[in-house]
Amino acid sequence: MEISTADPRRSAPSGAPHPARDQLVAAIASSAPAVRRLFDVRPSPKERATWRSLTVHQLEALAQLQQGGLTMGELCQGLGISESAGTALSDRLVAREMVIRESDDADRRVVRLSLSKRARAMVERFQARKRQRIAEVLGVVSDEGLAALVGIHERLLAGTAATPPGLRDTTGASATR
């Protein structure tokens, strides 16, 4: 696909998006799934057995919980899932002795989730693998390119209502995952 180098932020005289921008958006939409898969961390069969057959989604939930004890609502918001999906996810993690579920002393309706000691060690290994995979994938990008990519991520996260709730900056600081 040949893409025009004209300024993509300019609009056509009618106020419609510039055709070059449409081409760029189409190119990004086309490559986004493959790029996302590049960053996936898939455990080897041996690791999967060690990690007790946890799914990537369960590992992401454990990674969220590593930040400290979260309420069920905070975990669901961070993962961008419904409360019912969060309950089912946490039920499976509690059954596997990865997560500890406790009632909040101040409000017994509130459920707090935290990692077990074993799960904390597993999450640290998973995050190390994830950082390693990201470093491998981004090895083809210059330092200047990485700085530009970080800037693009920050603008995207700060400037769109379509950002998943767990990634949205609500503190005024840079929002990264």
Per-residue pLDDT tens digits for 128-168: 888 999 999 999 999 999 999 999 999 998 987 555 555 44
**Which 8-state DSSP code applies to residue 110?**
-
Sheet holding 70-71, edge to edge: 70-71, 111-115, 99-103
Q: Is the torsion defined by CA of 45, 80, 31, 128 positive or negative?
A: negative
The confidence score (pLDDT) of residue 95 equals: 92
Q: What is the reported pTM? A: 0.59
Angstrom distance (rounded) from CA 35 to CA 28:
9
**Which 8-state DSSP code applies to residue 140?**
G
Please choose, from the candidates 27, 24, 32, the residue with its C-alpha nearest in 3D space to the C-alpha of residue 5: 24
- Give the pLDDT band of residue 8 (cuts 50, 70, 90): very low
The residue ranges of every structural domain in the chain are 54-126
The residue ranking higher by pLDDT, 36 or 163, is 36
The confidence score (pLDDT) of residue 15 equals: 61
Angstrom distance (rounded) from CA 103 to CA 116:
16
The confidence score (pLDDT) of residue 13 equals: 53
Which of these ranges, 23-27, 38-42, 51-55, 148-152, has the smallest mean pLDDT?
A: 51-55
Per-residue pLDDT tens digits for 72-115: 999 999 999 999 999 999 999 999 899 999 888 888 888 899 99
Angstrom distance (rounded) from CA 23 to CA 76:
35
Q: 54-126 has which CATH code?
A: 1.10.10.10
Q: Tokens at residue 115, please?
A: 């990692």
Length of the chain: 177
